[in-house]
Amino acid sequence: MKPIPTPYYLLDERRLLRNLRIIRRVRERSGAKSVLALKCFSTWCVFDLMRQYMDGTTSSGVYEARLGYEKFGGETHAYSVSYTRADIRDVRRYADKIIFNSLSQLRTLAPEARGCQLGVRVNPGFSYSHFDLADPARQNSRLGVRDGQALRAAASLIRGVMFHFNCENDDFANFSANLDRLGREYGDLLAQLEWVSLGGGLFFTKAGYPVDAFCAKLKAFSQQFGVQVYLEPGEAAITGAAELVTTVLDVVHNATDVAIVDASTEAHMLDVLTYRMNTRLVGRPEGAHKIIIAGRSCLAGDVFGQYSLRSRLKTGQVVRFGDAAGYTMVKKNWFNGMPMPAIAVRRLNGKLELVRQFGYKDFVESLS
Ligand SMILES: *Cc1c(COP(=O)(O)O)cnc(C)c1O
């Protein structure tokens, strides 16, 4: 097969499998089910593999719920920060659980949600996050019910609750203490319910995470309150499983070398800008050559990162950025009318498959 033209996202099923095996181990040892958070990753060409290890999907809106139902299967959880009445009529065809963000939405829309189990999101008032932008318990947060009394008064309308209060939490001691706190503060409510989702943001697939202690903790919590525990991994499910593969188009100099690649942070790896991270380079050893690698959009700050590399980058060389699965493909956009990276997969058997390419037609049809 001839090489795939850059730019493209490259998913690697063997790397994905490493995470999926941990997810299955958590399921087996703790009883906690895992549903994939589609807002993080919706690239459905690898769902045949993922569904063998996970229980289903959870969503942030109607289209994701439908995608989960049609492309993943299993359990379909539907959450949204706010639903319209029409959304509920639509989403109830796909979802088995509908989770409301507020008690007003629950009361108004419950009659429309016939046939689904209902739940609400609770904001426990504490969280773990390095970024205010992504902190669900930030000041004046709109995410979830704060009023414990009103929540208990509505308990007969719901079968479960969802707490999503972590963001990239790799600190098990912190999670463990916070789970104890949830038990102390909401245990009476949980004992009346059938299920509790602990949301996403837990980095239990990270190397070195104490997975067995995590399982024991989840199992004890589930048994203490008689509830089915769910996890909603997004990043933890796909971490390390994709790269954005690009080519250097030019190297310019302004006090330092700046390599320009045929992709863009703004359009193809937006979180790099939002959270001001340095993108991880794959296969480029460190050394003495300082270089900035930047995108080719017209945005002045379209920068993938600053690096010190063993060898200079030259026009025509390939640059691979790691961690390109979560919150990347779901956010790609047509800024500057730049060619959209294709999607390729390296399957478990080692075969490279070009799954989708985008062209001018996709660009023009997304605009009018
Ligand atoms: C974002 C989100 C997730 C997934 O979070 P990750 O950090 O990707 O694991 C899960 N549940 C809810 C409600 C979310 O908003």
pLDDT, tens only, 161-218: 999 999 999 999 999 999 999 999 999 999 999 999 999 999 999 999 999 999 999 9
* Residue nearest atom 3 in ligand 1 by C-alpha distance: 200
Domain locations in the chain?
A: 13-238, 241-365
User: What CATH architecture does domain 241-365 belong to?
Assistant: Beta Barrel (2.40)
Number of the ligand 1 atom closest to the C-alpha atom of 326: 8
CATH fold of 13-238 reads TIM Barrel (3.20.20)
What distance in angstroms lies between residue 249's CA and the mean position of ligand 1's atoms? 36
Q: Are 286 and 309 in contact (CB under 8 A)?
A: yes
Query: Taking the CA atoms of the chain, what radius of gyration do you get in angstroms?
Result: 22
CA dihedral 309, 313, 317, 323 (to 10 degrees): 40
In this predicted structure, the answer to whether residue 15 has a pLDDT above a threshold of 80 is yes
Q: Which amino acid is at 85?
A: R
Cα 179 to Cα 25, 45, 126, 221: the distances in Å are: 20, 35, 11, 8
Go through 58-84 and write b for each residue having 16 or more CB atoms within 10 A of its CB, e for each that does not. Answer: bbbbbebbbbbbebbebbbbbbbeebe
Closest CA to 43 of 236, 330, 241: 330
Q: Which residues pair with 97 in a beta bridge?
A: 77, 117
Residue of 232, 235, 239, 275 with the most ligand 1 atoms within 8 Å of its CB, for mutation:
232
d(CA 77, ligand 1 centre) in Å: 13
Asked whether the bond before 3 is cis by omega within 30 degrees of 0, the reply is: no
342 strand-pairing partners: 8
The CA 269 to ligand 1 mean position distance, Å, reads 18
**Residue 66: CB partners within 8 Å, gap ≥ 6?**
90, 91, 94
Question: Which has the closest alpha carbon to 179: 166, 191, 189?
Answer: 166
The pLDDT value given to residue 277: 87
Q: From CA 49, how far away is CA 87, in angstroms rounded?
A: 30
CA–CA gap between residue 163 and residue 61 (Å, rounded):
17
Looking only at the bridges linking them, the beta strands covering 242-254 and 318-321 are antiparallel
pLDDT of residue 61: 96
Distance from Cα 58 to the centre of ligand 1, integer Å: 9
pLDDT at 1 over 70: no
In ligand 1, the atom with minimum distance to the C-alpha of 39 is 1
Q: Is 80 exceeded by the pLDDT of residue 91?
A: yes
Pocket test for ligand 1, best of 39, 133, 162, 331 (most atoms within 8 A of CB): 39
Q: Looking at residue 2, what is its pLDDT?
A: 78
The stretch 95-115 carries a mean pLDDT of 97
Expressed in angstroms and rounded, the spacing between residue 307 Cα and the centre of ligand 1 is 30
pLDDT in tens, 247-304: 999 999 999 999 999 999 999 999 999 988 899 999 999 999 999 999 999 999 999 9
Q: What angle, rounded to 10 degrees, do the helices at 172-190 and 211-225 form?
A: 10
Domains 13-238 and 241-365 share a fold: no
Q: How much is the mean pLDDT over the chain?
A: 97
Between the CA of 306 and the centroid of ligand 1 the distance, in Å, is 29
Residue found under tokens 């932008």 = 133
Residue nearest to atom 2 of ligand 1 (CA): 200
Residue 35, CB-side half-sphere exposure with 13 Å CA sphere = 30
User: Rounded to the nearest whole angstrom, what is the distance from the C-alpha of residue 359 to the centroid of ligand 1?
Assistant: 31
3-class DSSP state for residue 223? helix
Per DSSP, the three-state class of 100 is strand
Q: What is the mean pLDDT of residues 77-84?
A: 98
Closest CA to 308 of 274, 330, 278, 328: 278
Least confident of 14-28, 89-103, 273-287: 273-287
Whether the full predicted model's pTM is greater than 0.95, yes or no, is yes
pLDDT tens digits along 313-343: 999 999 999 999 999 999 999 999 999 999 9
Atom number in ligand 1 closest to CA 232: 10
Within 6 A (CB) of ligand 1 lie 37, 39-40, 79, 164, 167, 199-201, 232-236
- For residues 56 and 74, the answer to whether their CB atoms sit within 8 Å is yes
User: Of all protein residues, whose CA lies closest to atom 8 belonging to ligand 1?
Assistant: 234
The residue whose CA has the least distance to atom 5 of ligand 1 is 200
The residue whose C-alpha atom lies closest to atom 10 belonging to ligand 1 is 200
Question: Six-digit token pair at 149?
Answer: 């009394």
Q: Which atom of ligand 1 is nearest to the CA of 40?
A: 8
d(CA 229, CA 121): 14
Look-up: residue for tokens 């999926």? 20
What ligand 1 atom has the least distance to the C-alpha of 237?
9
How does DSSP classify residue 203?
A: -
Shortest-distance atom of ligand 1 to CA 79 = 13
Probe residue for ligand 1, chosen from 22, 122, 138, 164 as the CB with the greatest number of ligand atoms within 8 Å: 164
Residues linked to residue 260 through DSSP beta bridges, in sequence order: 250, 294
